[in-house]
Structure 1
Amino acid sequence: MGIDSERRFEEIYGSAYGALFGYALRRCLDPEDAADIVAETFIVAWRRIEEVPKGDGARLWLFGVARKVLANHRRGERRHEQRTSALRSELAASPPVVESADSDPSPLRKVFRALSEDDQELLALVAWEQLDAGQIAKTLGISRNAARVRLYRARKRFARGLAEADIDHPQTVVVEGSLL
């Protein structure tokens, strides 16, 4: 993008920002959403500056882009609401088990909770999400080898904790209904 394109964008931005923001504000419930729509509209204009018409056509072109951005925003909100509603229904059908503050967790749970958060996460990814070392590596953004090493060490620390708590454990241990 050359200096002329940058100047042109700045001119378009300066002349159309207020009108676009007003357009978005009148169509959004949340001023932050309106600001996001205007920002995204100008991102499109920046990327496609060569396609932006000259003169008053630029403002009208931006309104067209803002209209499409707003439509995408609304579709995203509807999808979010649908997913949230479905999740609420699912949770209402099978409420999660929540321990009360005065309940005494099982010895196994105490050992698990005594592990570091990283160890708990690794073991949970194996037991609850049933991920293998390669999948864990992708999830955590680490190498497959690093995932294997971390998982091996977490299992060893868990086994040590079980032994210290005098909990008999075979090679696979059930933690809250899942195998480790």
Structure 2
Amino acid sequence: MSSPSARARFEETVRLVVDPVRRYLWRRADPATAEDVLSETLIVLWRRHERMPADAEVVAWAIGVARLQLANANRAQRRRDRLVAKITVLDPPAAFVAEHSGPVDEEVRAILAGLRTADAEVLRLWAWDELAPREIAIVLGTTVNAATVRLHRARRRFEGEWRKTHPGSGHIETREGDEP
């Protein structure tokens, strides 16, 4: 955009296309993706301003650019989804499932899912990965003291949630020595 007239033309183009392109994208994607793709579309329009068609065709041209940008965003999302599927344990070995399944395991997973992400992660590192607080500190990039405190607090929160569904587990109050 070297000349003021080119800049003015681009600004006028943006005023013409932004609402139709946004409507197009919002009908085809979630709001966050739609806004990201709208931004990418405007960048493409900025870079290709000298190739923009006449005013009557500019809205359709911009929607065509948005369509291609949305296809790019969808492809990128599919690649991210495939990568996540590869690096997560979607189908654990049968021996692991046999050893680590049952009603208690499902309850533990449910409670972990309900905890804050940071609490669930520190508990998984400690219980599932069998890491000591010193090792947890390395994984989390914190001090041993901070990891120890986080683990202690996470265990208390987990225990509180566990007791909601298992009120009789843990310490049982006795009346030994009390007179009837």
User: TM-score w.r.t. structure 1 length?
Assistant: 0.53
Aligned partner letter, 1:39: S
Match of 1:165 in 2: none
Equivalent residue, structure 2, for 1:14: 15
Correspondences of 1:82-161 after superposition (within 5 Å): 82-89=82-89, 92=92, 98-100=125-127, 105=132, 110=134, 117=141
1:108-149 Cα distance to aligned partner (Å, 9 max, x none): x849959xx59xxxxxxxxxxxxxxxxxxxxxxxxxxxxxxx
Unaligned runs of 5+ in 1: 119-180
Secondary structure at the aligned position of 1:98 is classed as: helix
TM-score relative to the length of structure 2: 0.53
In structure 1, the residue matched to 2:6 is 5
CA contact (8 A) 2:126 2:136 kept: no
Give 1:92 deviation, angstroms.
Answer: 4.3
Q: Partners in 1 of 2:89 and 2:24 — Cα distance?
A: 36
Deviation sequence 1:136-164 (CA, Å, 0-9, x none): xxxxxxxxxxxxxxxxxxxxxxxxxxxxx
Q: Return the offset for 1:86.
A: 1.4
Root-mean-square deviation (CA), in Å? 3.3
Tell me which residue corresponds to 1:39: 39
Aligned to 1:63: 63
Distance, in Å, in 1 between the alignment partners of 2:136 and 2:89 is 30
Gaps of 5+ in 2: 97-123, 143-180
Deviation string, structure 1 residues 6-50 (Cα, Å, up to 9, x no partner): 11111111111110000000110x211101111111100001100
Match of 2:161 in 1: none
Tell me, in whole angstroms, the C-alpha distance in 1 between the residues paired with 2:126 and 2:20: 54
In 2, the alpha carbon distance for the partners of 1:58 and 1:111 equals 58
Rounded Cα–Cα distance in structure 1 between residues aligned with 2:13 and 2:50: 12
- Verify the 8 A CA contact 2:37 2:69 in the aligned structure 1: yes
What SS is found at the alignment partner of 2:12?
helix
Distance 1:21 1:69 in 2: 13
Amino acid at match of 2:42: F
> 2:26 touches 2:34 (CA, 8 Å); kept in 1?
yes
Question: Which residue number corresponds to residue 164 of structure 2?
Answer: none
| Residues 75-97 of structure 1, C-alpha deviations (whole Å, 9 max, x = no match) | 01111111111112379459xx8
Q: Identity over the aligned pairs, expressed in percent? A: 30
